[in-house]
Amino acid sequence: MLVRRSLHQAGFRYRLHAADLPGKPDLVFPKYKAVIFIQGCFWHQHQCAMFHWPKSRTEWWRRKISANRVHDEAVQDKLRELGWRVLLVWECALKGKARYNTEQLLELISAWLRGGNSFSELPPS
């Protein structure tokens, strides 16, 4: 939310939860042909301290979470085919010990919007 507001104050215009794009990206920046997903570290199996396999129903969780990952990759491929650039902002970039502060996030995200790669992640993997 804070990041969203500061991006807006910095002059970036975006749409939220665009239902007309694959995967309904959280933020869409038409001018920069760029989309941002806020990714939960648990649900999307991020390699970070916030991800742990649950101790019960292990098999069910493995299936569930690997299906999420397959879905994520398909969504990112489709977006790239349509000419969109994709930034994943992981939950651990926003909260927890390793989070960025709002200024850092604003700086990193605006740098990426203005001229970043076709695919990027925060924190970088």
| Interface ranges with Zn ion (CB under 5 A) | 41, 46, 48, 50, 90, 92
Looking at the Cβ atoms of 34 and 39, the one nearer to Zn ion is: 39
Minimum distance, C-beta of residue 93 to Zn ion, in the bound complex (Å)? 7
Phi, psi values for residue 46, rounded to 5°: -75, 140
CA angle 27, 122, 37 (to 5 degrees): 25
**Nearer residue to Zn ion within complex by CB, 12 or 90:** 90
43, 68 Cβ separation under 8 angstroms: yes
- Find the shortest distance in angstroms from Cβ 109 to Zn ion: 17
